[in-house]
Amino acid sequence: MFNKILIANRGEIACRVIRTAHRLGIRCVAIYSEADANAMHVAMADEAVCVGPAPSKDSYLKMDTILEVAKQTGAQAIHPGYGFLSENAPFVQKCQEADIVFIGPPASAIEAMGSKSAAKRIMEEANVPLVPGYHGEDQDPALLKRHSDEMGYPVLLKATAGGGGKGMRVVWAADEFDSALDAAKREAMNGFADDTMLVEKYLTKPRHVEIQVFCDKHGNSVYLAERDCSVQRRHQKVVEEAPAPGMSDELRKAMGEAAVRAAEAIGYEGAGTVEFLLDEDGSFYFMEMNTRLQVEHPVTELITGQDLVEWQLKAASGQTLPLSQDEVQINGHAVEVRIYAEDPDNDFLPATGKLEYLRTPEENRYVRVDTGVREGDEVSIYYDPMIAKLIVWDENRDRAMQRMSQALTEYRIAGMKTNTHFLKRLIDNSAFRAAELDTGFIEKHEEDLFSGHGGSHSANPLALAALYTLLKQGQQRQAEAVHSHDTTSPWHQFNGWRLNEEPALAVRFKVGDEEKSVQVNWLNQGFRLSVDGHIVIADGKLEDDVLKASFNGHNRNAFVAELEGHITVFTDQGAFECQWLHPDLDNHEFEEEGG
Which residue type occupies 225? A
CA–CA separation, 345 and 498 (whole Å):
40
CB of 106 to ligand ADP, least distance (A): 21
How would you write 46-100 as a 3-class SS string? CEEEEEECCCHHHCCCCHHHHHHHHHHHCCCEEECCCCCCCCCHHHHHHHHHCCC
Nearest CA to 423 among 435, 408, 410, 445? 408
Measured from the CB atom, the residue of 94 and 338 that comes closer to ligand ADP is 338
Active site residue 252: no
CA–CA separation, 427 and 449 (whole Å):
10
CA–CA separation, 175 and 145 (whole Å):
10
- Which chain residues interact with ligand ADP by CB under 6 A? 131, 156, 162-165, 200-203, 206, 208, 232, 235, 275, 277, 287-288, 439
169, 252, 292, 477: the catalytic one is 292
CB of 480 to ligand ADP, least distance (A): 58
Measured from the CB atom, the residue of 395 and 446 that comes closer to ligand ADP is 446
Measured from the CB atom, the residue of 54 and 151 that comes closer to ligand ADP is 151
CB of 465 to ligand ADP, least distance (A): 40
Measured from the CB atom, the residue of 116 and 368 that comes closer to ligand ADP is 116
Measured from the CB atom, the residue of 129 and 583 that comes closer to ligand ADP is 129
Measured from the CB atom, the residue of 145 and 359 that comes closer to ligand ADP is 145
CB of 285 to ligand ADP, least distance (A): 7
CA–CA separation, 227 and 275 (whole Å):
9
CB of 277 to ligand ADP, least distance (A): 6
Measured from the CB atom, the residue of 71 and 234 that comes closer to ligand ADP is 234
Question: Which helix (H) or strand (E) segment is 395 a member of?
Answer: none
Buried b (16+ CB within 10 A) or exposed e, 208-235: bbbbbbbbbeeeebbbbbbbbbbbbbee
CB of 201 to ligand ADP, least distance (A): 6
DSSP-based three-state secondary structure for 266: coil
CB of 164 to ligand ADP, least distance (A): 5
CA–CA separation, 519 and 505 (whole Å):
6
> 559 burial class (0-12, 13-18, 19+ CB within 10 angstroms)?
buried
CB of 343 to ligand ADP, least distance (A): 23
In whole angstroms, how far apart are CA 187 and each of 84, 132, 197? 22, 24, 11
Buried b (16+ CB within 10 A) or exposed e, 446-455: eeebeeebee
Number of continuous H segments (helices) and E segments (strands) in the chain: 19, 33
Do 407 and 354 meet the contact criterion of CB atoms below 8 Å apart? no
Closest CB to ligand ADP: residue number: 439
Question: Which helix (H) or strand (E) segment is 262 a member of?
Answer: helix 249-265
- Residue 228, beta-bridge partner list: 209, 241
Other Cβ atoms less than 10 A from the Cβ of 307: the count is 18
Measured from the CB atom, the residue of 289 and 466 that comes closer to ligand ADP is 289
Q: Angle at CA 301, nearest 5°, toward 296 and 303?
A: 110
Measured from the CB atom, the residue of 23 and 234 that comes closer to ligand ADP is 234
Nearest CA to 278 among 325, 227, 326, 334? 227
CB of 202 to ligand ADP, least distance (A): 4
Question: Looking at the annotation, which residues are catalytic?
Answer: 292
